[in-house]
Amino acid sequence: MISALNRLVDLVEEHLTGEFDVDGLARALGTTEYHLRRMFSSLAGMPLSEYVRRRRMTVAAADVVRGVDDLLSIAIRHGYGSTEAFGRAFRAVHGAGPGDVRRDGGPLRAQPQLRFRLTVEGSIPMDTRIVDRPPFRLVGHAARVPLIHQGINPHIQQHVTALPMEEHLRLKALSDTEPAGLLQVCDELEPDGTEGSELTYLHGAAVSRDTPAPDDLDAIEVPAGMWAVFRTSGPYPQALQTTWAATATEWFPSNPWRLRPGPAITAVLERADDFSTATCELWLPVEPT
């Protein structure tokens, strides 16, 4: 995976002024575009699309400062059809328009070329198991919410707290298959995992495929497949978010598995009364590499 990500970085550099085929590269490297984008975002701390934009604007800035070509020629060279579109992208990266930078020589915010390297970590073993599950169904109350990487997501919190206590008990009683108990489900995640991008959040339970979903509940059909299950305990939600990040930085690079499209599921096994600490299981859909 480390070599695959570095080849992806090389591909970006080779096509800074044009389009490039991420899916083709992934297939040539024996992985998938979905997994490659998810790993890039997790390890680089930014989506692939944002890295490409920053690198293009870094190289474009040299052309702007050099002052040999007009701004429209530079815009077209770097994949923009107008100086207005180029100017917006340029300002988003550098904090100033290309005309200002040409006149003043700055400010410029360069994005260095990324290089991924393997470091020796993982001194604390991750409590993980691989589960092969038949098709099942997730039922509960769903809402579209923005993705937030750190801390409590207030949109999810508002969605869950709006449900009466008897509804939580009803959902828990519906559970008849793994993952057991009340579940926090994130579905339709973008591969890049961009902060603020929308996802479907479902608060509910897992039932077998033959169990009918009550008419007043939303349902997500989950096909058969393998799951990596990570157990975590500690401050909530910080310990869970740390484990989620560690799957990308430690577990996937050193294990013969990759992410596949599907919902990410959190089962809360035990928790403090005020939910300040919890023991959870994070279920991620995987397939062999």
Mean pLDDT of 22-26: 88
Cβ-based neighbours of 118, under 8 Å, separated by 6 or more: 2, 253
Query: Mean pLDDT for the chain?
Result: 87
The Cβ of residue 226 has, within 10 Å, a number of other Cβ atoms equal to 15
pLDDT at 119: 59
Q: What is the pLDDT of residues 153-200, one digit of tens each?
A: 899 999 999 999 999 999 999 999 999 989 999 999 888 877 788 999
Whether the per-residue pLDDT at 1 is higher than 80: the answer is no
pLDDT higher than threshold 70 for residue 122: no
How far lies 169's CA from each of 100, 174, 176, 267, in Å?
61, 9, 14, 15
Higher-pLDDT residue of 106 and 222 is 222
- Phi, psi angles (nearest 5°) of residue 89: -65, -40
Mean pLDDT of 63-86: 87
Residues paired with 230 in a beta bridge: 128, 282
Look at 266 and 274; give whichever has higher pLDDT.
266
Please give the angle made by the CA atoms of 38, 42 and 47, to the nearest 5 degrees: 70
Predicted TM-score of the model (pTM): 0.72
Q: Residue 215's pLDDT band (boundaries 50, 70, 90)? A: very high
Tokens 């052309």 — which residue? Answer: 63
Cα 126 from Cα 60, distance rounded (Å): 43
Residue 77: pLDDT band with limits 50, 70, 90: confident
In a 3-state reduction of DSSP, which class is residue 150?
coil
Phi–psi pair at 278, nearest 5 degrees: -160, 155
Instruction: Assess contact for 130 and 207: CB atoms under 8 A.
Output: no
Beta carbons within 8 Å of 221's beta carbon, 6+ residues apart: 135, 137, 209
Is residue 224 predicted with pLDDT exceeding 60? Answer: yes
| Percent share of the chain, pLDDT over 70 | 97
Q: At what angle do helices 48-66 and 83-94 cross, to 10 degrees?
A: 110
Is the CA virtual torsion 97, 103, 108, 112 positive or negative? positive
Q: What angle do CA 225, 206, 130 make, to 5 degrees?
A: 35
